[in-house]
Amino acid sequence: MAIIRPMRLADLKEVIQIEESSFPRPWSANTFLTQIAKDASICLVAEVDGRVVGYTIATQYVEVWHLLDLAVNKGYRRRYIATELLEQIFELCGQAKHRGYTLEVRKSNRGAIKMYESFGFICTGLRKGYYSDNGEDALIMWKDSEDMSA
Ligand SMILES: CC(C)(COP(=O)(O)OP(=O)(O)OC[C@H]1O[C@@H](n2cnc3c(N)ncnc32)[C@H](O)[C@@H]1OP(=O)(O)O)[C@@H](O)C(=O)NCCC(=O)NCCS
């Protein structure tokens, strides 16, 4: 089991290493700093044996939570680290009224799509050519807040 806790500035070195090995267009350190400083954002890391092995960032615009970033160190994947991070995000976001959650994911990212679907996300649209590195489409996914789906 991982420890899930708020991201700190001191985590950024490990977070950026994971980010750079996970995405063709990784976020910069400044983008992480902006999110950490933002009241409307939740930035979490997963720690195993004192090491940061995954992280996620969600931010609220109006009444919707946007899942902006989620990655797990390659050597720690398929151990439910992302699942634990997402469960904690839903727990924290669910404390105040909102409409739901949205995210974009590469159409080819079958593993991530399967994981989001297991949490109740559904595909609601497509952004054609959304990813500038290869022109790939993004699926737009949506999940109702617990209040809305009750
Ligand atoms: C997507 C990612 C965050 C998943 O992290 P993870 O900790 O390995 O995910 P979990 O162990 O919590 O997976 C939970 C379930 O999701 C599904 N899943 C996750 N990764 C999968 C994969 N590569 N292939 C197929 N199913 C996958 C499975 O159903 C899995 O359950 P199972 O292992 O019992 O079959 C990780 O692969 C990653 O960092 N990828 C690169 C960055 C990325 O694509 N981020 C998402 C951007 S939208």
> Of the residues 104, 130, 131, 136, which is catalytic?
104
Give ∠ CA 23-24-25 in degrees, rounded to 5. Answer: 90
Residue to probe by mutation, ligand 1, list 89, 90, 115, 136, most atoms within 8 Å of CB: 115
Structure tokens at 73: 């160190």
Global confidence as pTM: 0.97
Domains contained in the chain, CATH given: 3-149 (3.40.630.30)
Closest CA to 146 of 124, 120, 112: 120
- The Cα diameter of the chain in Å comes to 41
- Whether ligand 1 lies within 6 angstroms of the CB of 109 is answered as yes
- For residue 104, the ligand 1 atom closest to its alpha carbon is 48
> Which residue's C-alpha comes closest to atom 35 of ligand 1?
78
Q: Tens of pLDDT along the chain (150 residues)? A: 899 999 999 999 999 999 999 999 999 999 999 999 999 999 999 999 999 999 999 999 999 999 999 999 999 999 999 999 999 999 999 988 999 999 999 999 999 999 999 999 999 999 999 999 999 999 999 999 987 655
Catalytic status, residue 76: no
The amino acid at 129: G
> Is position 20 annotated as part of the catalytic site?
no
Record the tokens describing residue 71, joined without a space: 């990655």
Among candidates 120, 117, 113, 118, which has minimal Cα distance to 150? 120
Residue 70, ligand 1, Cβ within 6 A = yes
